[in-house]
Amino acid sequence: MTNAYQVLRLIVGFSIPFLLFASTGCTVTSNPVTAKSDHTVALAAFDHAIENEGDSAAKTSLQKMRVCHQHKSKELEIYESEMEALPHEIGMLTKLEDLGLYYNELNTLPPEIGNLENLKVLYLKGNQLATLPPEIGKFKKLTDLAAHENNLTALPPEIGELTYLEDLLLGRNQIGSLPKEIGNLMNLEWLNLGENDIEALPPEIGKLSNLTSLNLIWNPLKSLPLEIRNLSKLKTLILYRTHITDADLEHLKSLKNLKELYIVKTKVTRGGVESLQAALPNCNINSDHLR
């Protein structure tokens, strides 16, 4: 089947510099074609893709993409469909800043998604994703990434290239560990890792100097790294139903900005909790021993 990228070349022809397509998507060389011509050509490519798409969910997604491109919109939402694969044509929407792909049946993302270098918000909640593509590292402007309620087992090291990221929501997956590159997210403020399979945090977690909220609820977490004491801006820490002990509470005594701590259903003792409360008198500690 001829895809939209091939159609672009057919429409433009070879009498002018043709559109160059990198292996990761549709990198376009537009000179001397005008911006208006490029826009028209892309719309024709979308029309071809829609006409030849046999899957109804994918066809609907392509139609939404076409409308988005036609109106030069910076936002696109595709949700609550049975779409299992995002059409490769998503890579043509290079102006996108906000992409919502929640509650579909996506099990993978195409490499062409890396073309969306202006993306600031990516919402992937409620799909079937087992991995995030390495191309995610190209989202240099991304501030919000939500991929909770998927089947993720790990994060690509390229996650560390998202240095503008502020919110990272990864709850309700199957993540077993975090890459050391997580420590590169110096602007991260909110990190939700609840309901995963994490047994240990990398020491690089201590580099997240702007982190204010860390959720680790319902993980088989056995201990906290000493470096967690470096999270000086942390205000909320959720460790409900983890396996932390009194030794881990010692690492928290230097977190003077901590306001809410949840350690119910852990292995801490009354003595450990009372000692921590004395060190952090302004912190509301929710535990089995202090209520």
Q: pLDDT band at residue 289, thresholds of 50, 70 and 90?
A: confident
Does pLDDT of 93 surpass 70?
yes
Sign of CA dihedral 17, 19, 21, 27: positive
User: Which residue range forms the structural domain that includes residue 127?
Assistant: 73-286
Query: Quick check: is 12 in a domain?
Result: no
Does pLDDT of 3 surpass 70?
no
Region 164-193: what's the mean pLDDT?
A: 98
Between the CA of residue 256 and those of 215, 235, 260, 261, 281, what are the distances in Å?
Answer: 18, 9, 11, 12, 9
Contacts of 157 (CB under 8 A, 6+ apart): 179, 180, 181
CATH number, position 264 = 3.80.10.10
Query: Quick check: is 125 in a domain?
Result: yes
* pLDDT number for residue 39: 84
* pLDDT number for residue 34: 53
CA distance 123 to 170: 11
Q: How many CA atoms lie within 13 A of 238 on its CB side?
A: 15
Q: pLDDT band at residue 85, thresholds of 50, 70 and 90?
A: very high
Report percent pLDDT > 70 for the chain: 87
Does pLDDT of 70 surpass 70?
yes
CA distance 232 to 251: 12
Query: Quick check: is 14 in a domain?
Result: no
In the chain, the number of structural domains is 1
DSSP labels, 42-80: HHHHHHHHHHH---HHHHHHHHHHHHHHHTT-SEEE--S
Query: Quick check: is 3 in a domain?
Result: no
Query: Quick check: is 36 in a domain?
Result: no
| 3-class SS of residue 85 | strand
* pLDDT number for residue 154: 97
Q: Are 74 and 95 contacting, i.e. CB atoms less than 8 angstroms apart?
A: yes
191-234 pLDDT, tens per residue?
999 999 999 999 999 999 999 999 999 999 999 999 999 999 99
State the chain's mean pLDDT as an integer: 90
**Residue that wins the pLDDT comparison between 21 and 183:** 183
Region 154-166: what's the mean pLDDT?
A: 98
Report percent pLDDT > 90 for the chain: 85
Query: Quick check: is 273 in a domain?
Result: yes
Region 171-186: what's the mean pLDDT?
A: 98
Query: Quick check: is 52 in a domain?
Result: no
Does pLDDT of 115 surpass 80?
yes
Q: By mean pLDDT, which of 9-13, 39-43, 56-60 is the weakest?
A: 9-13
**Residue that wins the pLDDT comparison between 206 and 4:** 206
Q: pLDDT band at residue 150, thresholds of 50, 70 and 90?
A: very high
3-state secondary structure string across 139-173: CCCCCEEECCCCCCCCCCHHHHHCCCCCEEECCCC
Query: Quick check: is 157 in a domain?
Result: yes
Contacts of 201 (CB under 8 A, 6+ apart): 178, 216, 221, 224, 225, 228
